[in-house]
Amino acid sequence: MAKVIMFTLVGLALAFFKNHQSSYQKRFNAFREIVPVDLPKCNLVKGIDTGAEDLEILPNGLAFLSTGLKYPGIKSFEPNKPGKILLMDLNEEDPAVLELEIKGSNLDLSSFNPHGISTFTDEDGAVYLLVVNHPALDSTVEVFKFQEEEKSLLHLKTITHELLPSVNDIAAVGPESFYATNDHYFVDPYLRSWEIYLGIAWSYVVYYSPDEVHVVAEGFDFANGISISHDGKYVYIAELLAHKIHVYEKHANWTLTLLKSLDFNTLVDNISVDPATGDLWVGCHPNGMKIFFYDAKSPPGSEVLRIQNILTEEPQVTVVYAENGTVLQGTTVASVYKGKLLIGTVFHRALYCEL
Ligand SMILES: *[C@@H]1O[C@H](CO)[C@@H](O)[C@H](O)[C@H]1NC(C)=O
Ligand SMILES: *[C@@H]1O[C@H](CO)[C@@H](O)[C@H](O)[C@H]1NC(C)=O
Ligand SMILES: *[C@@H]1O[C@H](CO)[C@@H](O)[C@H](O)[C@H]1NC(C)=O
């Protein structure tokens, strides 16, 4: 009898892990092959070889990029060098990147590890850059003021909060206010790897301001990119391992109500909103196994989606660019400016294409 119970338990445990293994493979899109989709004129951006995890383009064509991310389980080609914020002027014919100097700061630059970034422009035209930072794998949000003349960033403030333990991306709504995605619940690396393996989906989204901080959405299987529509009425959230983009209505009191969710066959990372059309541009990982378990012989590929008319009954989804990793590995973000597309990656290069 004891033996029967024993075998039953072993059987149950095996079934449990088998189920989880198949759900894990599905969530990581382990078997997805890439069908290439090319753009006619693309150039690699000179000076970017260790990632451009996030980028944001201002209406005047100046682009900020975060580079040099160190993130548990993800490849880095320069694991011992601090990250940087780069600037690119997309009005130039062949734009070069320039490292922005960080000033006025008690910020430890040797452990600077920038991840998601977002800008806020106030009514006087002052530009604030909010940067998710992981010094020693901690999680902070750094507030900078952009000094255009000097091409520098003045560090103003470091924000930490118990509801911001593992921030991935932010969408700024003020110089010190933002929505932020926490991409996992557990901070302990061991518990966190189980959280990701089992797909516990405890990742959540927070609204932060100096006066109030609260959870505005929860239950995500790795909440990743977040972006706001230009009219400020909607918030878009990418749920990486569920392959979904959620559309929320944003209320005056900053709470969110879910309107709809779209399904994809790829791991959706960053969302940027097209300033001219309101379309969503999404950097994606077609095969998540390759991004989380890097193998130079079989590198992760890249995929960029464009979603038109997301608020209507029938949004159109187009694969604008897809590549097997020979040129570009691990896309996270794509953003447009005047008929051109700037594509960033977690740890690899950046590509600038004509549309
Ligand atoms: C892109 O994704 C990163 C995190 O994966 C995030 O920090 C960043 O803000 C996103 N960029 C845009 C333009 O949404
Ligand atoms: C926030 O505003 C929405 C819409 O008006 C309302 O339904 C909700 O109850 C409000 N929530 C809080 C916490 O005030
Ligand atoms: C990727 O695509 C390129 C060009 O289409 C091809 O030459 C190369 O062999 C492919 N690599 C892999 C690993 O499939």
Rounded Cα gap, residues 262 and 316, in angstroms: 11
Q: Closest Cα to atom 2, ligand 1: which residue?
A: 270
11 is written with which tokens? 């059987």
Supply the pLDDT for residue 16: 64
Residue in 115, 134, 155, 348 annotated catalytic: 115
Supply the pLDDT for residue 72: 75
Indicate if ligand 1 lies below 6 Å from the C-beta of 241.
Answer: no
Asked if 85 and 92 touch (Cβ cutoff 8 Å), the reply is: no
Indicate if ligand 3 lies below 6 Å from the C-beta of 324.
Answer: yes
From 55, 118, 284, the mutation candidate for ligand 1 (largest count of ligand atoms within 8 A of CB) is 118
Supply the pLDDT for residue 66: 87
Supply the pLDDT for residue 175: 97
Asked if 258 and 246 touch (Cβ cutoff 8 Å), the reply is: yes
Supply the pLDDT for residue 9: 61
Question: From the CA of 166, how far away is ligand 2's center (Å)?
Answer: 26
Q: The whole model's pTM is what?
A: 0.90
Q: Is 115 a catalytic residue?
A: yes
Supply the pLDDT for residue 1: 54
Indicate if ligand 3 lies below 6 Å from the C-beta of 38.
Answer: no
Supply the pLDDT for residue 4: 57
Residues at the binding site for Ca(2+) are 53-54, 117, 168-169, 224, 269-270
Domains of the chain: 32-354 (2.120.10.30)
Rounded Cα gap, residues 51 and 71, in angstroms: 12
Supply the pLDDT for residue 120: 97
Supply the pLDDT for residue 226: 95
Alpha-carbon dihedral angle through residues 331, 337, 338, 341, given to the nearest 10 degrees: -10
Asked if 136 and 117 touch (Cβ cutoff 8 Å), the reply is: no
Tell the burial category of 200 from Cβ atoms under 10 Å away from its Cβ (0-12, 13-18, 19+).
Answer: middle
Amino acid at 350: A
For the chain, give the mean pLDDT.
Answer: 91
Give the mean pLDDT per block of 10 residues along the chain (355 residues): 59 64 87 92 89 86 89 80 93 93 90 93 97 91 96 97 94 97 88 88 96 97 94 96 97 97 95 94 93 91 97 96 94 93 89 94
Indicate if ligand 3 lies below 6 Å from the C-beta of 36.
Answer: yes
Indicate if ligand 2 lies below 6 Å from the C-beta of 255.
Answer: yes
From 270, 284, 342, 345, the mutation candidate for ligand 1 (largest count of ligand atoms within 8 A of CB) is 270
Task: Provide the 10 A C-beta neighbour count for residue 245.
Answer: 26
